Amino acid sequence: MIETVKTITELRRHLDQWRAGGETIGLVPTMGALHEGHLSLVRVARAKAGRTVATLFVNPAQFGEGEDFDQYPRDADDDAQKLENEGCDLLFRPAAEEIYPPGHVTRVTIERLGDILEGEFRPGFFAGVATVVTKLLLQALPDFAVFGEKDYQQLLVIRRLTRDLDIPVAIEAAPTVREDDGLALASRNAYLTSDEREIAPVLFGTLSQVAENVGRGASGNLRAEEQAAWGRDQLERAGFGKVEYFTVRDAETLEPVARASRPARVLAAAWLGKARLIDNVAV
C-alpha cells in the first residue's frame, strides 16, 4: 500500500531524500473522496515528475458556517488504494492539529480576486484555501503543484498567491474531467438524487452554449450580459434552485469582459437539491 505520512517532519524527511537524489517532485493537494478528476491530476504530475506526492486534508478553514464540513464524503482507505493504483509515491494525510496547532492565527487573503464570484457567495472560502495551500506548498516545497481547471477561480487565486508571496513552486493546470454526459466530476455530486443527476448536465451544456455564442460574437459585440442572463434562465427552467452566478469574465482577472480580444471564461455556480455545483468553460 502507498506509504502514508501524517506529520510535516516525516513529509520533509521523504522529500529531502528525493531532492538530494536529484528527483523532481510534483504535489497534488486534495480533500479526498477521490475520483477520476483527482486521479487525472496525479497522472499529470507523474508525467512531469520523478516523485508524486498527494495530500489528503479536509480543510476546516474553507468551510463556512452551515456548510457541509461534517457531511463531506470521506473514505481514506479507498483513497489510499486509488493513489497506490495510480503509482503515486507518497500520501500526506495530516490531522487538523498538524496543520492548525493551537495558537494558529495567520491567514492568507487575496484581495479582489478572492472576494468576487465564489468569494462573494462563500465568504472566507478563499482565505481558507489560500492559507492551507500556502502551508502545503511551503511544507513540501515541490517543483510544481497541480490544480484542476474545474475550480477555475481557485486555480487563479493559487497562481496569484505563489507570485505575490514568492513561493518557488510552479502551478500546473489540469483540464476538467467529465462524465459522458458532460457533468464535471465532483465529490459533492454524491449529494444528487437520481432525478437531480438527470438534470445536472444542463449546467455544462448551457455553459458550453454560452461560450460558443460569445465566441461567435468575438469579432464584434460580445453581448456577454445578455448571454449570461439567458444561461441563468436555462438553468432555472431545467429545475436548478438558486443560480448564484452565471457570468462571462476575463479569463485572467475574472473581471467583467471589456474587450473581445482578450481570452474569456464562462463560469457558473448553482444549487441542485443539496448540491452546490460549479463549472466553467473557456470561450
Q: Which of 15, 177, 207, 283 binds ligand AMP (CB under 6 A)?
A: 177
> Does residue 14 have an active-site annotation?
no
Nearest to 283 by CA among 257, 270, 44, 269: 257
Residue 211 cell numbers, joined: 461560450
Contacts 24+ apart (CB under 8 A), 11-17: 11/53, 11/90, 11/92, 11/139, 11/140, 12/139, 12/140, 14/53, 14/90, 15/51, 15/53, 15/140, 15/141, 15/142
Q: Which of 18, 27, 38, 272 binds ligand AMP (CB under 6 A)?
A: 38
Q: Does 37 bind ligand AMP (CB under 6 A)?
A: yes
Distance (Å, whole) CA 144 – CA 48: 9
Q: Does 156 bind ligand AMP (CB under 6 A)?
A: no
Nearest to 81 by CA among 56, 48, 114: 56
How many residues lie near ligand AMP (CB under 6 A)?
17
* Closer Cβ to ligand AMP, 157 or 224, answer by number: 157
* Closer Cβ to ligand AMP, 177 or 228, answer by number: 177
| Stretch of residues binding ligand AMP (CB under 6 A), selected from 42-50, 112-120, 146-154, 210-218 | 146-154
- Least separation, in Å, of the C-beta of 52 and ligand AMP? 14
The single-letter DSSP state of residue 266 is E
The footprint of ligand AMP (CB under 6 A) covers 30-31, 37-38, 40-41, 147-148, 150-151, 174, 176-177, 184-187
What positions carry a catalytic annotation? 38
